[in-house]
Structure 1
Amino acid sequence: MMDIPNLFGSMVFNDKVMRERLPKDVYKALKRTIAEQKHLNLDVANVVASAMKEWAIEKGATHFTHWFQPMTGVTAEKHDSFISPTGDDHIIMEFSGKELVKGEPDASSFPSGGIRSTFEARGYTAWDPTSYAFVKDNTLYIPTAFCSYSGEALDKKTPLLRSMEVINREAKRILKLFGNDNVKRVMATVGPEQEYFLIDKELYEKRPDLIYCSRTLFGARPPKGQELEDHYFASIKPRVSAFMKELDEELWKLGVLAKTKHNEVAPAQHEIAPIFSTVNIAADHNQLVMELMKKIANKHNLVCLLHEKPFAGVNGSGKHNNWSISTDTGINLLEPGETPYENAQFLLFLAAVIKAVDEYQDLLRISVASAGNDHRLGANEAPPAIISIFLGEELTEILESIENDTCYNQKEKCQMEIGATVLPHFPKDTTDRNRTSPFAFTGNKFEFRMLGSSSSISDPNVILNTIVAESLSQFADRLEAASDFKSELTAIIKETIKEHKRIIFNGNNYSEEWVKESEKRGLLNLKSTVEAIPYLIAEKNIKLFTKHNIFSEAEIFARYHIMLEEYIKVLNIEALTLLDMTKRGIIPSVISYLKDLTEVVVNKKSISKDLNCKLEEALIESISDSTACLYKNIEKLDNAILEAKNQNNLLDTAKYYREVVYIAMQELRSVIDNLEIKVGKKYWAYPTYGELLYSVY
């Protein structure tokens, strides 16, 4: 039987290993550096590096790499061996403190959004000691931040670390006012649930669209999709179970708290969910989860698809970001609590979240924006593009009673410290979950459900940390200056509820009524990535990021350009792939089928003019009509791609791809899907949806 406790974290240079292998003074110095977010002394770094190297070599490591997260959304690594020549044709294994804390990878080919020129190649990686190093594939992986020669952040981790510091600082200001002077650190915590598809590798290799685009660009619906709802939580099939078992083991070795696994709604769709950890570690671990899912699937002759919508007509894949804030003393600041004192503190933090989400709807929408997620959001399988908060009836009624100075009627009630007869103790999960809500309170955390399956969780958590910190900062300014803390606390909570209650909605987010209602409330409905991106450089957002030193103005505009460039490139690749598959696969398939049909008619009539050929002739006529449409739409898409090059700027080009190229792709797809159900199976060039979705089972 597997010894899971000893297996867990066995490939991680974690706190237990550091305590065992580092001298006490070095261990304490390192822990102090982490706690106080200070630079690591080089003497300490040398001792840590030596111990880390010896431990890694014992685990089979021959190389080390600074593992970082550039703005491509995936991870990057450059491997260096530990070997160092001795001058007598021998080598020794060395690893210095300087090599541990700093690396210099070539940064020229990573997205920079104009921050730097291609010929300016120098970039730096800097060790992030808050995320443990680990050994994987005979290499010591050192989690790092990545920046340019001139200091601008070129990665996802650096802004995340900055945002963690901001929410720590502002939350502690609030806690101090409530008398919690013993809190040394406040941390955002996250548990990201990860959805994905598994399909047969042999079939995958016959679909260039899956290879190049990670999604199918055409495909007629199979007779059975997810209508029977028989895949959700169903018994896990042996082939998938074997994959999941190996995935768990590899993740546990790396200290990833993989907890839950199950079949999801769509055929061939599954989910893995971890236990909560601090947001920085959760982001690193989620990148490992995505990487290992792909690697291990390949070993089982499967392919893991992380695209948000790999198959039309069935549910796509998302990532649920369960976000909360906790103290180093073990207090969850979004836990309602059992006493009025705790409830008042909870209500203030709740008010901060409500205010933040309402004021920065645009940034939350941008944080999940991508070409892939555009296919999923609002498709009755994921939240719509309209941001709103679900609180449940009970908590909503409590807020209304506070706003209106009325009693909250329940079996028992108590006098609140803030002066309203409301909020008795209530346990977690006092209301049903709302699966349609983009941002739902679920007892002691908020579930941000809009993230796409393939996205890094860093972006949305940078936004969540920063916007909530801004609300807390404004509250702290008022409370610190107040002559009467309780009356000012009451005023803040009441004002916040009154001014921002428009963002609270507990109903069906899929309904047309909500679309109309949200418009009346003045909420944003940014349906596509192209509509959302320009809000990133709005004056209020630049002011927010620069105030808290999350991004400089140059870093903000860099990300604006990178998002537009990525969107354009993704749609261009998809359009070219669709044309290539149509010209080289679909057209030959159709012509071959028509040829054989025509020969059947000729042969039958050569035998006897009286033989009935109505079926063949009807098929020939129908397919011929479709091929005429096919030719017309190929020309239209070809011309659209050429015209895209003539747009004035990045934003205009992105809009053109959304409004012209994408529409032309959809029209061509419609013709292809129609042909698929007419053309004989043996003639069709590519595996069908039915084969792709059900082959594993």
Structure 2
Amino acid sequence: MEAVSNQAMRILRLFGNTTAKKISVYAGAEQEYFLIDRELYNKRKDLIFTGRTLFGAAPPKGQELDDHYFGSIKERIACFMHELNVELWKLGVSAKTQHNEVAPAQHELAPIFSDCNTATDHNQLIMEAMKRIASHHGLACLLHEKPFAGVNGSGKHNNWSMGTDDGQNLLDPGKTPHENAQFLIFLTAIIKGVDQYADILRVSAASHGNDHRLGAAEAPPAIISIFLGDQLQDIFDQIEHGEATSSLQGGKMRVGVNTLPYLNRDATDRNRTSPLAFTGNKFEFRMPPSSGSISGPNFVFNTIVADALKEFADQLEKAEDFNEAVHDLIRDTYIAHKRIIFDGNGYSEEWRQEAARRGLPNISNTVDAIPALITDKAISLFERHHVLSRLELHSRAEINYEAYIKQINIEAKTMIDIASKQIRPAVLKYAGSVAQSLAAIKSVGGDTSVAEELLQEINENIAQFHKALKHLEEVAEQAQLLQGSSRSQAVFCRDYVFEAMQALRVPADALEMLVDEDVWPFPTYGELLYNI
């Protein structure tokens, strides 16, 4: 935050601001979470030990009707939200909005903006309070990024802006943004910083849990890009080809019913598939994990913006014609970094191909993201602004690898435990009862085709299940004995242990659909997501 303030003040002085003495960074983190019945939670070892379900067949109904998203908040959940708000207000956390999210049993809370350090602390208090207060209502709060396969996961949308101590929002375009050179300088600095250090920004949002969410056609893709909106995009297009002489207006939305008035439409409305969108007077970074701290994404964003502002100030302070230098700087920087601007569907395969053509990094998992912390580029950046040293960056990389390895190990051991002690005994017991029924039907000359087909499907899947379980046990043990660097261990966990976990889940979820629900040893997705 000091780095941003120091460099932004240089820019402000060049634009004639003599009253501001400090720049503050502001943040507001929207927190997504799931609430499920605590009694059901207590019957799921995977939720208890890992925070997510490691097994579970899809329920008959998911989120396809959007009826949870657009529906009213259930009374039990509303009571939880009310107590949560009261407790947070006591702590000085001004929680402002609360609503259902798109997945069943998913919700969101958003606080009022505050300075970046305070916002970070507030978000930690919010997560702690959610966990504690949920138990008061017989609920369990899940903050994992992907607690349920097949429905949307949870993120933490980090809204970021800069403001002066004399009351000016530096990311507010004003009524005539095409005439607001100061605003365009700050905006261009962000574009430059994000493009230049996209890999570092990506690792700030990386975690094992977030690997399940990013790029899954429900959250931002793993490719960093910026959405500016029609109005700002039009201004930059004008600047690129000469002078910006006008700004697009928001216009009106036609609602189709004569008895309703036309509604104002924001020309800078956000693209919800974009990982970083300009939303009027701030940027919304939509990649951070729901269970993590926003400190990482914010200190990275602060530093890369400070670095771009430093370059701008160094150049503008030497300019003979300031206005001409500002125009040229905005134009040249935009042209050099406009590859990071994208307003289309970030979930599409076409964007992945286009991003590759543009040379944008597509870092799909945490293990591949971590090395960005210890490149010469990253070390030079953070040391240049006295944010982190080389040793501190190497420490963070080591800690991230270690966390990834331990999380995979815990999940693997939990899967082995559930598969061995719960699923396999329940399926064999049920198969035995089907075999007895088959023998009984056959003894009276009845049609055994249905029972025979069911028993055959069970036998095929339990055989596949047993084989996959043995393989997971083997690779999990190998991971424990593996020597070498933390990175090599993390790569092994990703390529072998995690893949073995995925392979075990397939027959397990198939068996869930074959076995009597009274025999299945733990609550299903249907019960977890809808029994509130």
Q: What's the TM-score once normalised by structure 2's chain length? A: 0.95
Following TM superposition, where does structure 1 have runs of at least 4 consecutive aligned residues deviating by more than 3 angstroms? 338-342, 406-412
Alignment of 1:626 onto 2:461: yes
1:14-93 to structure 2, matched below 5 A, reads none
Residue in structure 1 matched with residue 410 of structure 2 by the alignment: 573
Residue in structure 2 matched with residue 640 of structure 1 by the alignment: 475
**Greater fraction helix:** 2
Distance 1:351 1:411 in 2: 19
Residue of 111, 114, 117 corresponding to 1:274 = 111
Distance 1:338 1:647 in 2: 61
Report the alpha carbon displacement of residue 602 of structure 1 after superposing the two structures with TM. Answer: 2.2
Letter in 2 for 1:321: N
Distance 1:406 1:342 in 2: 10
Report the alpha carbon displacement of residue 407 of structure 1 after superposing the two structures with TM. Answer: 5.5
Residue in structure 2 matched with residue 107 of structure 1 by the alignment: none
1:268-667 to structure 2, matched below 5 A, reads 268-338=105-175, 343-406=180-243, 408=245, 429-606=266-443, 608=444, 610-644=445-479, 645-667=481-503
Asked if structure 2 preserves the Cα contact closer than 8 Å seen for 1:428 and 1:442, the reply is: no
Asked if structure 2 preserves the Cα contact closer than 8 Å seen for 1:233 and 1:262, the reply is: no
1:190-229 to structure 2, matched below 5 A, reads 190-229=27-66
Distance 1:429 1:647 in 2: 56
SS in 2 for 1:668: helix
Letter in 2 for 1:347: L
Per-residue deviation, residues 470-509 of structure 1 (Å, max 9, x unmatched): 0001111111122221122122111111100000001111
Change (3 A) 1:411 1:194: closer
Letter in 1 for 2:101: E
Distance 1:431 1:481 in 2: 34
Report the alpha carbon displacement of residue 662 of structure 1 after superposing the two structures with TM. Answer: 0.7
Residue of 51, 70, 83 corresponding to 1:233 = 70
Residue in structure 1 matched with residue 505 of structure 2 by the alignment: 669
Change (3 A) 1:465 1:577: same
SS in 2 for 1:329: coil
Flag structure 1 segments of 5+ consecutive residues without an equivalent: 1-163, 413-426
Per-residue deviation, residues 632-673 of structure 1 (Å, max 9, x unmatched): 101111111122232521111111111111111001000100
Report the alpha carbon displacement of residue 339 of structure 1 after superposing the two structures with TM. Answer: 5.7
Residue in structure 2 matched with residue 681 of structure 1 by the alignment: 517
Letter in 2 for 1:228: L
Letter in 1 for 2:504: L
Residue in structure 1 matched with residue 21 of structure 2 by the alignment: 184
Asked if structure 2 preserves the Cα contact closer than 8 Å seen for 1:358 and 1:503, the reply is: yes
Asked if structure 2 preserves the Cα contact closer than 8 Å seen for 1:372 and 1:452, the reply is: yes
SS in 1 for 2:109: strand
Asked if structure 2 preserves the Cα contact closer than 8 Å seen for 1:428 and 1:443, the reply is: no
Report the alpha carbon displacement of residue 692 of structure 1 after superposing the two structures with TM. Answer: 0.3
Letter in 2 for 1:373: N
Q: CA RMSD in A?
A: 1.5
SS in 2 for 1:452: coil
Answer with 1 or 2: which has the greater Rg.
1
Distance 1:372 1:332 in 2: 34
Distance 2:384 2:243 in 1: 38
Distance 2:334 2:122 in 1: 36
Distance 1:641 1:506 in 2: 43
Asked if structure 1 preserves the Cα contact closer than 8 Å seen for 2:227 and 2:276, the reply is: yes
SS in 2 for 1:192: strand
Distance 2:526 2:215 in 1: 25
Report the alpha carbon displacement of residue 285 of structure 1 after superposing the two structures with TM. Answer: 0.3
Change (3 A) 1:494 1:546: same
**Once structures 1 and 2 are overlaid, which stretch shifts more, 229-238 or 307-316?**
229-238
Distance 1:432 1:336 in 2: 14
Residue in structure 1 matched with residue 257 of structure 2 by the alignment: none
Report the alpha carbon displacement of residue 330 of structure 1 after superposing the two structures with TM. Answer: 1.0
Distance 2:514 2:247 in 1: 63
Q: What's the TM-score once normalised by structure 1's chain length? A: 0.73
Letter in 2 for 1:175: L
Q: Aligned pairs, how many?
A: 517
Asked if structure 1 preserves the Cα contact closer than 8 Å seen for 2:178 and 2:246, the reply is: no
Distance 1:207 1:519 in 2: 41
Report the alpha carbon displacement of residue 337 of structure 1 after superposing the two structures with TM. Answer: 2.2
Per-residue deviation, residues 114-137 of structure 1 (Å, max 9, x unmatched): xxxxxxxxxxxxxxxxxxxxxxxx
Report the alpha carbon displacement of residue 616 of structure 1 after superposing the two structures with TM. Answer: 1.4
Distance 1:281 1:641 in 2: 41
Report the alpha carbon displacement of residue 605 of structure 1 after superposing the two structures with TM. Answer: 3.1
Report the alpha carbon displacement of residue 410 of structure 1 after superposing the two structures with TM. Answer: 5.7
Per-residue deviation, residues 282-312 of structure 1 (Å, max 9, x unmatched): 0000000000000000111100000000000
**Once structures 1 and 2 are overlaid, which stretch shifts more, 260-269 or 591-600?**
591-600
SS in 1 for 2:180: helix
Residue in structure 2 matched with residue 263 of structure 1 by the alignment: 100
SS in 1 for 2:286: strand
Distance 1:448 1:652 in 2: 30
Per-residue deviation, residues 557-581 of structure 1 (Å, max 9, x unmatched): 0000000000010011001100100
Distance 1:411 1:584 in 2: 63
Asked if structure 1 preserves the Cα contact closer than 8 Å seen for 2:32 and 2:106, the reply is: yes
Asked if structure 1 preserves the Cα contact closer than 8 Å seen for 2:231 and 2:248, the reply is: no
Alignment of 1:693 onto 2:529: yes
Distance 1:517 1:340 in 2: 29
Letter in 2 for 1:558: S
Asked if structure 2 preserves the Cα contact closer than 8 Å seen for 1:186 and 1:325, the reply is: yes
Distance 2:416 2:38 in 1: 23
Change (3 A) 1:403 1:618: same
Distance 2:288 2:342 in 1: 19
Report the alpha carbon displacement of residue 255 of structure 1 after superposing the two structures with TM. Answer: 1.1
Per-residue deviation, residues 77-115 of structure 1 (Å, max 9, x unmatched): xxxxxxxxxxxxxxxxxxxxxxxxxxxxxxxxxxxxxxx
Asked if structure 2 preserves the Cα contact closer than 8 Å seen for 1:189 and 1:324, the reply is: yes
Report the alpha carbon displacement of residue 428 of structure 1 after superposing the two structures with TM. Answer: 9.4
1:105-116 to structure 2, matched below 5 A, reads none
Per-residue deviation, residues 28-51 of structure 1 (Å, max 9, x unmatched): xxxxxxxxxxxxxxxxxxxxxxxx
Per-residue deviation, residues 564-601 of structure 1 (Å, max 9, x unmatched): 00001001100110010000000110011011111112
Distance 2:177 2:76 in 1: 53
Distance 1:299 1:411 in 2: 51
**Once structures 1 and 2 are overlaid, which stretch shifts more, 379-388 or 341-350?**
341-350
Identity fraction in percent:
56
SS in 1 for 2:35: strand
